[in-house]
Amino acid sequence: IYADPTKRLELYFRPRDPYCHPVCANRFPTSSVLLRVRRSSKKQQQQQLDAETQAQPQVKFEMEILGIVTTVYKFQGMSDFQYLAMHSGPDGKQISMYDKVLMLKPEKEEFFNRELPLYIPPPIFSRLDTPVDYFYRPDIQHRDGYNNPPVSGENLIGLSRARRPHNAIFVNFDDEEIPAKPLDAAVQTWKKVCTNPVDRKVEEELRKLFEVRPIWSRNAVKANISVHPDKLKLLLPYLAYYMLTGPWRSLWVRFGYDPRKHPEAKIYQVLDFRIRCGMKYGYAPNDMPVKAKRSTYNYSLPITVKKPVSHTVSIHDLKQGLGSSAASTSKKPASSRYKLKESIYIFREGALPPYRQMFYQLCDLNVESLQKIIRRNDGAESECTERDGWCLPKTSDDLRDSMSLMIKQIIRSTRPALFSSTTSSEDGKEQLTYESGEDEEDEEEEEEDFKPSDGSENEMETEILDYV
């Protein structure tokens, strides 16, 4: 519960019972004081009292403040159903069967051949532990002659939600034309928000970025410009359109620029790279220095009261931008308050990616051997395909293989115990033609300090949801 603030505190009334279902407490912030109170009593003999009068004890209280409490856990839910492995004996008494059912040590065949009743608990008890109001409503009564509409995409549940008011233009690889200017609604929205010099400066900086490089990922923009994330959602549709499919998917393209007609746009293509893990690669997922965003082992039901806190926007952030007063409330200066690290979009030799899945642009792969793979057909690009773009077929596969080999050598150098059983013949097959950068490890930062993602760095998953 200390590693993940959204975790619930579980209380087991029978800790040694594997069938015990806990009661859960939700986490809440508080401003309280932890107080220790001691009560001491002392009897005093009173000489002038009558013989029938007893001595009265003297009570003394001592208080001490131990600290400040910022977090409390409250048990607000109901206790779940419990499953007990019990059996009725000949005399009618309930006998526990745990010692006979549970296998605590390796047993012989006779243990499994014993005649015992089956104690198979249900796969799930109560999914909700907090009572909720269910409002019963009568079925909709249609007028006579009404017929259900035909099944089509327009009548499917989930497709009728209004588009988010960011007014982005989406383009597929198969679309013939590309937009030359933003939507009028996008222009009006940004002009309404851009009310201070800081916002106008950010707009000018982003324009210069698109002049130098016509295609950018959102993470690359956030690593070069300090802008509030909510304002960036409004600024990007004002200056660029979004590619949904093809070799430039999940990227923002400058208005009027069609990468399908320019072979030099090859270097701006996207590479979906995922760190390979498994026993055949020499290390298990838990042995990787780069932690996963989320795991099925840490799955939490959507009934938890405490949800991950979103990045709130204050009126000052929206109206004043990144002013001096905003910088005074933050540890970082205003010029870099919202900036991301360069490792979020640049791949360098000898450094691990911050996340297990990364979306790199080919021009941001700062390794000479990788650039040689990309430039194999420079000047001979003849066709732009949806899978490989202007590159040769299977270029992405070759890049992933080379990058995976680099990462494996980095993990090998930092954790040699994982590869102690590797044979010399396998080492020969995996030998790289470049230096692994082991001599520079002392100068590099410790790569094991990477933490799981907040869930906001996967552009394909989150960015589309921001605009659709």
Tell me the per-residue pLDDT of 382-427, one tens digit each, with 9 for 90 and over: 899 999 999 999 999 999 999 999 998 888 887 776 655 544 444 4
Residue 74 lies in a domain: yes
Say whether both 457 and 330 belong to one domain.
yes
pLDDT (0 to 100) of residue 129:
82
Residue 114 lies in a domain: no
Residue 279 lies in a domain: yes
- The whole-angstrom separation of Cα 59 and Cα 448 is 57
pLDDT-wise least confident of 159-173, 283-297, 348-362, 403-417: 283-297
Say whether both 210 and 133 belong to one domain.
no
Split at pLDDT 50, 70, 90, the class of 438 is very low
* pLDDT tens readout for residues 22-74: 888 988 899 999 999 999 887 655 555 554 455 566 888 999 999 999 999 99
Residue whose token pair is 């926007």: 313
Say whether both 133 and 164 belong to one domain.
no
pLDDT (0 to 100) of residue 236:
95
Say whether both 186 and 252 belong to one domain.
yes
How many CA atoms does the CB half-sphere of 238 hold within 13 Å?
20
| Range ranked top by mean pLDDT from 107-121, 158-172, 201-215, 347-361 | 201-215
User: What phi, psi does 201 have (nearest 5°)?
Assistant: -65, -40
- The whole-angstrom separation of Cα 199 and Cα 197 is 5
Say whether both 339 and 424 belong to one domain.
yes
3-state secondary structure of 137: coil
pLDDT (0 to 100) of residue 364:
96
User: What phi, psi does 146 have (nearest 5°)?
Assistant: -80, 135
Exposure class string for 399-429: b at 16+ Cβ within 10 A, else e: bbebbbbbbbbbbbeebeebbeeeeeeeeee
pLDDT (0 to 100) of residue 80:
82
Say whether both 229 and 327 belong to one domain.
yes
For residue 367, the enclosing domain spans 160-297+311-468
Name which of 211, 203, 165, 201 is nearest 186 in CA terms: 165
Q: Do residues 284 and 277 lie in contact, with contact meaning Cβ atoms separated by under 8 Å?
A: yes
Sign of the Cα torsion 85, 88, 92, 96 reads negative
Tokens, residue 265: 């746009």
Residue 4 lies in a domain: yes
What pTM, to 2 d.p., does this model score? 0.59
Domain total for the chain? 2
Say whether both 60 and 185 belong to one domain.
no
Exposure class string for 109-148: b at 16+ Cβ within 10 A, else e: eeeeeeeeeebeeeeeeeeebeeeeeeeeeeeeeeeeeee
- The whole-angstrom separation of Cα 231 and Cα 237 is 11
Say whether both 128 and 188 belong to one domain.
no
Tell me the CA end-to-end span of the chain in Å, nearest whole number. Answer: 34
3-state secondary structure of 406: helix
